[in-house]
Amino acid sequence: MLPEILKKERTNKGLSQANLATILGVSQQAIGSWEVGRTSPDPEMLKKIANYFNVSTDHLLGNDSLKTDSVKLTKKDLGNLDKLLQQAEVTFDSDTYKLTDDDRTKIRSALELAFFDAKKRNKRKKD
């Protein structure tokens, strides 16, 4: 699982193996080796990778519940999220920020995860 997920996260950010290697402070060969499953990063490096991509180590290892849980975000949920993200600026912690397309993508990913978790918790309470 790690090889596929690592490559997907890297390519989703538009990074080459060399770019990611520089960011993580390892060789390009190490990244390549992880992506084909020849070797695996040590636990500390796995945490560093997870932090960089803003995901959990469980996600990197394929152990997250997103794949197997039956709760899904609906088109309405995603539509409401899109409306929020169309704003040119957001205010956070008393400061106003202009959003770039990259900012919107990152915020959308984080909010989708948060909404998914909230929806899952609410479903459990009803069961």
**Between 65 and 72, whose confidence is greater?**
72
pLDDT in tens, 13-69: 899 999 999 999 999 999 999 999 999 999 899 999 999 998 888 888 887 654 444
Q: Helices 2-12 and 28-36, interaxial angle, to 10°?
A: 130
The pairing of beta strand 95-98 with beta strand 89-92: antiparallel
The pTM of the full predicted model, rounded to 2 decimals, is 0.51
Task: Provide CATH code, domain 2-60.
Answer: 1.10.260.40
- CA gap 1, 4 in Å, rounded: 6
